[in-house]
Amino acid sequence: MRRIEAAFHAHREALRTRLVRGSWSGYAFEFLAFGIKQGWACLFGALMLALLLATYLFYPADAPLARYDFLTLAAIAIQVAMLAFGLENWEEARVIAVFHVVGTVMEIFKVAMGSWVYPEAGEAVLVIAGVPLFSGFMYAAVGSYIARVWRLFDFRYDRFPPLWLQSLLALAIYVNFFTHHFTLDIRLGLFAASALIYGPCVIWFRSDRAHRCMPLLLAAILVALFIWFAENIGTFARAWTYPGQDVSWHMVSLAKLGSWYLLMIISFVLVAALHRASAARLRPRA
């Protein structure tokens, strides 16, 4: 199980032995280890983004298999490979599958409301109501990242909020993604609620040997920022487009950063539910 990650760990320790000679080289190595672990945690999402760009630039226009269908089949293959090589376990895969369904349902609704479109959906077969099935894997990539980064960095918390309270917040966020089209948008209230719930919480993570800490809210904002960057790559590759991007591409509005922050909370709660039985990870540190 996870033999590849075990091999990486062995290589990292060997590299540490060669490079670390004092405090400053130790800090530099820890920073390097942080970046490598983050990249490894992003494996699913990075592969999906690479596929979006590669198919946009090189996929044959006359290929018998539509580009979107190819992306869906490739995403399934990546997920199967990650399970086969032990890069995800079945519990993590179940959480990711839930997030895939949650994301796909929201995609169908949002496309129907005109929030964004999939310009090549008419050419594909693996499509539901104008939404190609690979789109759910883009949401699943967020869930995959949260699940993997939690494990790779050995997350621990101070003042971890009650899971039932987090679940209520996640439910309110998800419902508001639908209802704000018809009633009052309570997004600002959800931001405030997330600050109240997660503001006191501190996350401890281990890049190398020592655990470091940062406010959980700051970590959430940073993750949302990188997802926003990834979304710009996705729209550049015309995997989907927002109104106004049909004629020429432009960067996605910064307002979407808030949407990704809220959606990331849903993913975080799902993964936290996976870890609820691990009291050692959730109890406050002494």
For 240-276, the pLDDT digits (tens) are 999 888 778 889 988 899 999 999 999 999 899 887 7
Distance CA 144, CA 93 (A): 8
205 has pLDDT over 50? yes
3-state SS class at 243: coil
pLDDT-based confidence at 284, cuts 50/70/90? Answer: very low
Model confidence pLDDT, tens digit, residues 103-126: 899 999 999 999 999 999 999 999
Q: How far from chain centre, in Å, is Cα 160?
A: 21
pLDDT reported for residue 111: 94
What pTM does this model have? 0.87
17 has pLDDT over 90? no
Mean pLDDT over 6-19 rounds to 73
pLDDT reported for residue 92: 77
Distance CA 230, CA 235 (A): 9
Distance CA 164, CA 179 (A): 22
pLDDT-based confidence at 1, cuts 50/70/90? Answer: very low
Higher pLDDT, 189 or 91: 189
pLDDT reported for residue 25: 83
Residue pair 113/106 in contact (Cβ under 8 Å)? The answer is: no
Which residues are CB-neighbours of 217 under 8 A, at least 6 positions away? 194, 195, 198, 199, 201
8 has pLDDT over 80? no
Q: How many CB atoms lie within 10 A of CB 96?
A: 29
pLDDT reported for residue 13: 73
Model confidence pLDDT, tens digit, residues 26-70: 888 889 889 989 998 999 999 999 999 999 999 998 999 999 999
Distance CA 205, CA 157 (A): 9
pLDDT-based confidence at 150, cuts 50/70/90? Answer: very high
Maximum C-alpha span of the chain: 62
